[in-house]
Structure 1
Amino acid sequence: MEYYEIKPLVAGELAEGTVMDTSVHPPIVSKLHFEFAGWLGDALVTSFPCFLVTEEAKRGLLSIGITGATFADAEVTTSEDFHEVQPDVELPPFVWLKVDGEAGQDDFGISQELNLVISERAFDVFDDLLGLSSADFWEFDGGSE
Structure 2
Amino acid sequence: MKYYYLEPEVSGGPGENTIMNSSVHPPFVTRLHYEFDGWLGDSIVTSFPCYIVTEDAREKILESEFSGITFDDVEVTTSELFEEMQPDQRLPPFAWLKVNGDAGHDDFGIAKDYRLVVSERVLDALKPFGISNALVEPFEAS
User: By the TM > 0.5 criterion, same fold?
Assistant: yes
Gaps of 5+ in 1: none
Q: Following TM superposition, by how much is the alpha carbon of 1:87 offset from its aligned partner in structure 2, in angstroms?
A: 0.8
The answer as to 2:133 corresponding to 1:134 is yes
Q: Following TM superposition, by how much is the alpha carbon of 1:21 offset from its aligned partner in structure 2, in angstroms?
A: 1.1
Q: Following TM superposition, by how much is the alpha carbon of 1:106 offset from its aligned partner in structure 2, in angstroms?
A: 0.4
The answer as to 2:97 corresponding to 1:97 is yes
Whole-Å Cα distance in 2 between the matches of residues 57 and 40 of structure 1? 16
What is the TM-score with the length of structure 2 in the denominator?
0.98
- What amino acid does structure 1 have at the position aligned with 2:21? D
Whole-Å Cα distance in 2 between the matches of residues 92 and 16 of structure 1? 21
Aligned equivalent of 1:36 = 36
Aligned equivalent of 2:64 = 64
The answer as to 2:96 corresponding to 1:107 is no
Q: Kindly tell me the number of residue pairs found equivalent between the two proteins.
A: 142
- What amino acid does structure 2 have at the position aligned with 1:65? E
- What amino acid does structure 1 have at the position aligned with 2:69? A
Q: Following TM superposition, by how much is the alpha carbon of 1:24 offset from its aligned partner in structure 2, in angstroms?
A: 1.1
Aligned equivalent of 1:118 = 118
- What amino acid does structure 2 have at the position aligned with 1:109? G
Q: Following TM superposition, by how much is the alpha carbon of 1:113 offset from its aligned partner in structure 2, in angstroms?
A: 1.2
Aligned equivalent of 2:19 = 19
Identity %: 54
Whole-Å Cα distance in 2 between the matches of residues 66 and 14 of structure 1? 26
Aligned equivalent of 1:88 = 88
Whole-Å Cα distance in 1 between the matches of residues 128 and 11 of structure 2? 20
Whole-Å Cα distance in 2 between the matches of residues 87 and 125 of structure 1? 30
Aligned equivalent of 1:47 = 47
Which 4+ residue blocks in structure 1 deviate beyond 2 angstroms?
none
Q: Following TM superposition, by how much is the alpha carbon of 1:22 offset from its aligned partner in structure 2, in angstroms?
A: 1.2
